[in-house]
Chains A and B, each alone.
Chain A
Amino acid sequence: MRLIGFIIVCICGGLLLYGTSEFPDWGDPASPASTHLSNDYIEKAFDQTQVPNLVTAVLADYRGFDTMFETAVVFCAGLACLLLLRDYSRKKERFYRHVPTGVILQVKHPEKKLPVGTEFEYMDKDWVPSDLIIKNVCRILIPFIQIYALYVVAHGDFSPGGGFQGGVIFGSSLILLAISYNLRTLVQRVKEKALGILCALGVLVYVGIGALCMPLGGNFLDYSALTRIIPWDPHHIRAYGMLGVEIGVGIAVMAVMVVIYINIASEGRHDEGL
């Protein structure tokens, strides 16, 4: 059986390699993409879309469908991570610390709980004393990282950037919070339900903007139809449409990053880890 699998893999790999030999060389000026498509983008993209960044124009406008389904793929990845890893069963043993004395208590019965408040606090199993320097520096840095992420999202149509990158930066700022404090702090501040809703909301914003163009008289994702709603500045209407789409992508990517991190770090329990 293994031999058959090995032969099938070899044949498929060989066919794929054989197929790549027909591809044009990298940067070949005679390839179909370079002879028609790229020239067309370079010549007409700015006149048609009024977006200075060609990459964003291609990504969010000419290939709007492609990017929409990419966002859907990211959403599916987050959903799969949540469905496969999420573990609602209670942990067998938990640790608490009595705050005034510093005594650590281990509770072995899964049903019994201690009142967490000023007297007792949760403690992770592989707890390390929190480091003042790391905590404070991360506390200073996180707001700046988040502002930078918003800048990258909002500035995507003028300079390199966009929804995917901005979303990743924003998500990483939340992950930094989990690393520098602990996972419980992050889960308390960003609720699991909110993350799930944000995942879906991002895709919904994208598809919603696309669908909104249809009753206004355009095709799906044809941003020029939005002039009926946004009457001012009709030249830059495509840039506004792209901005809305990028915001949707950013929200989805941010939420999915955090969902994946929390689920993998805590083995689906959302209580402790890393």
Chain B
Amino acid sequence: MDILVIIFILFGLLFFIGGAVGIIRMPDFYSRLHPAGKLDTLGIMAVVIGLAIYNLHHFDTLSVLLSIKMILIVFFVFLSSPTATHSIVDAGMRAGLRHWTQKQRKE
């Protein structure tokens, strides 16, 4: 059981690290939103599922309820985080921000 928890949390942390590095290293606005929207969502899912399993050590109604609430948090983050990213990209496109190309790097 504990090994499963550790695997889940490490998996999530790996994605979080990827997201953090991506936000810093990516070249422009749109590509930076990509790790922010995707990797963080998957990272939070893995970490919270790990914590929810860990919470079930004392198996009773209260802890099951708490785990369900944790999974609900993941569900809502899963819904809202990509939507927020989508709307930010949408706003960027409407404001007329050009996306990054290979040409700009050479200049």
Report A's interface with B, CB cutoff 8 A.
128, 131, 133-134, 137-138, 140-141, 144
Contacts and interface: CB of A to CB of B under 8 A. Distances in A.
Contact of A134 (B76, B83, B94): B83
Given A128-B94, A131-B90, A137 B80 contact: yes
Interface string B83-103: 100110010001000000000
A141 B87 CA distance: 15
B83 to A, nearest CB: 4
Interface of B: 76, 79-80, 83, 86-87, 90, 94
B94 A141 contact: no
Contacts of B87: 131, 134
A133 B87 CA distance: 9
A138 B83 CA distance: 9
Given A134-B86, A137-B80, 17 more contacts: A128-B94, A131-B86, A131-B87, A131-B90, A133-B83, A133-B86, A134-B83, A134-B87, A134-B90, A137-B79, A137-B83, A138-B83, A140-B79, A141-B76, A141-B79, A141-B80, A144-B76
A127 to B, nearest CB: 11
16 contacts: A131-B86, A131-B87, A131-B90, A133-B83, A134-B83, A134-B86, A134-B87, A134-B90, A137-B79, A137-B80, A137-B83, A138-B83, A141-B76, A141-B79, A141-B80, A144-B76
Closest 9 A-B residue pairs measured CB to CB?
A137-B83, A134-B87, A133-B86, A137-B79, A134-B83, A131-B90, A133-B83, A128-B94, A141-B80
Contacts of B76: 141, 144
A140 B94 CA distance: 25
A131 B76 CA distance: 19
Nearest to B79: A137
